[in-house]
Amino acid sequence: MDLKDLGISRTQRDYIEKNNIHENNIARVIRENRERYIISTGDTDFEAEITGNMRFAASSREDFPAVGDWVTMIEFDPGKAIINGILPRKSLLARQATGKTGEKQLIAANVDTAFIMQSVDNNFNINRIERYLTICNSGGIEPVVLLSKTDLVNEEVIEKLRSGLEKREKGLKYFLLSSLSGEGLDHITGYMQKGRTYCVMGSSGVGKSTLINRLFDREILDTNDISKSTNKGKHTTTFRELFITESGSIIIDTPGMRELGITDDEEGIHSTFEDIEKLAENCRFSDCTHTGEKGCAVIEAVENGTIDVRSLDNYLRMKREQEHYNSSIAERRQKDREFGKMVKEVLKGKKGHKY
């Protein structure tokens, strides 16, 4: 196996050549958990950490490697390596971390297609799908929805979900899947291409790791029953990990996510709610909030049935969240600047001192 099997792209190869980086110093992050990494060159895996320099120079989470990243590295002991750089990313999946406003969490890098998985028995929720679509659209990643566990409900329920989804998310690609009966599995494997990187995302317990086990036809990942008391998953997967399937496609498993906060990238919301934002150009007031103003083209579209009111609600909520995120970032930058100034002054004051 080599870098090509790990899914390296033309642009990344060009970058390596242009910068005279030796191929032996390139690896892909195949597993990540709290700043501990496993990286692979295709034929060798290394336990790796980032250099102190990299940590020191990092101004945000985006400066740390994520699973799927291509990195430059130096082997220092058999099986051990130091990561000293990240190659420019083709795409990035990120969310706002729970509880910490303004802190971004990286889900995976250099993903081509994200499988957004929801189980049809108790997890289906279009508002949440729109959230996932937004982070995919911000990151330049193709979203595909997987409606899992179809064996648990009857045909009627599935038809209802399908028509709801098709009505609200026109043109969105989705597959039905039962990892238990095997329904839809061939559609998914047929869709996955050699050398492309896929990522499975969704709530805990929807069947992400089970799907990957099915793709490999053996239990490479732990899975767990749904909790009887809460009817939710037990957060079985705790790290992000990348695998190469027999047919040469690459797939990343991720831990179940409870919340999916929206980050600062406006493009994500813009392309997910393109129809709403287009209509908004026709609102009478340029600062229209679409919440009841006279001459609001968006409300008009809701009234005549072109836009689903739930989509509009979801859109407005995510916009507010993004504003909140942006202002918390601005606040943090201000604090950082003040701290930097203080450090400088202290250092200046010390000038001339002898130790």
Ligand X SMILES: Nc1nc2c(ncn2[C@@H]2O[C@H](COP(=O)(O)OP(=O)(O)OP(=O)(O)O)[C@@H](O)[C@H]2O)c(=O)[nH]1
* CA dihedral sign of residues 267, 272, 278, 283: negative
288: partner contacted, choices Mg ion, ligand X, Zn ion, none (Cβ within 5-8 A by kind): Zn ion
Question: Could you say whether residue 120 binds Zn ion (CB under 5 A)?
Answer: no
Query: 208: which residues sit within 8 A by CB, 6+ positions away?
Result: 117, 200, 201, 202, 237, 253, 254, 256
Decide whether 13 or 319 has the Cβ nearer to Zn ion.
319
Instruction: Return the residue of 139, 205, 261, 268 that touches ligand X, per CB under 6 A.
Output: 205
What is the total count of residues that contact ligand X (CB under 6 A)?
A: 25
Among 7, 65, 184, 256, binds ligand X (CB under 6 A): 256
- Residue 143's binding partner among Mg ion, Zn ion, ligand X, none (Cβ under 5 to 8 angstroms by kind) is none
122 belongs to the binding site for ligand X (CB under 6 A): no
DSSP, collapsed to helix, strand or coil, labels residue 12 as helix
- DSSP labels for 301-334? HHHTTSS-HHHHHHHHHHHHHHHHHHHHHHHHHH
Examine residue 118 and tell whether it contacts ligand X (CB under 6 A). Answer: no
Burial of 48 (0-12, 13-18, 19+ CB in 10 A): buried
**DSSP letter string over 265-284?**
-HHHHHHHTHHHHHHHTTSS
What DSSP letter does each residue of 63-114 carry, written as one string?
GS--TT-EEEEEEEETTEEEEEEEPPPS-EEEEEPTTSTT-EEEEEES-SEE
* List 296, 302, 307, 312, residue binding Zn ion (CB under 5 A): 296
Name the β-bridge partners of 48: 37, 81
- Report which residue's Cβ sits closest to ligand X: 256
Report which of 79, 82, 8, 23 is spatially closest to residue 242, judged by C-alpha positions.
Answer: 8
Binding of Zn ion at residue 136 (CB under 5 A)?
no
User: Which among Mg ion, Zn ion, ligand X, none contacts residue 225 (Cβ within 5 to 8 A by kind)?
Assistant: ligand X
| The only residue of 207, 280, 314, 318 in contact with ligand X, by rule CB under 6 A | 207
Lookup: tokens for 279: 């209509």
The residue among 14 and 323 lying less far from Zn ion, judged by its C-beta, is: 323
Smallest separation (angstroms) from ligand X to the CB of 198 = 15
* Contact between 283 and Zn ion per CB under 5 A: yes
Give contact residues for Mg ion (rule: CB under 5 A): 208-209, 236-237
> Restricting to residues 141-200, which ones interact with ligand X according to CB under 6 A?
148-149, 151-152, 178-180
Q: How far is CA 314 from CA 105, 160, 280, in A?
A: 22, 21, 15
Q: In the set 51, 224, 245, 328, which binds ligand X (CB under 6 A)?
A: 224
Cβ 294 to Zn ion shortest distance, Å: 10
Shortest spacing between CB 330 and Zn ion, in angstroms: 26
Contact call for residue 235 and ligand X (CB under 6 A): yes
By CB under 6 A, tell whether 113 contacts ligand X.
no
Nearer to Mg ion, 33 or 163 (CB): 33
Asked whether 116 and 143 are in contact (CB, 8 A), the reply is yes
Q: Which residues pair with 242 in a beta bridge?
A: 252
The token duo for 55 is: 């940590």
Query: Which range in 9-17, 29-37, 228-236, 296-304 contacts Zn ion by CB under 5 A?
Result: 296-304
255 binds ligand X (CB under 6 A): yes
> 290 touches which of Zn ion, ligand X, Mg ion, none (CB within 5 to 8 A by kind)?
Zn ion
DSSP one-letter string for 138-197: HHT-EEEEEEE-GGGS-HHHHHHHHHHHHHHSTT--EEE--TTT-TTHHHHHHH--TT-E
Binding site for ligand X (CB under 6 A): 148-149, 151-152, 178-180, 204-210, 223-226, 233-237, 255-256
Binding site for Zn ion (CB under 5 A): 283, 288, 290, 296, 298
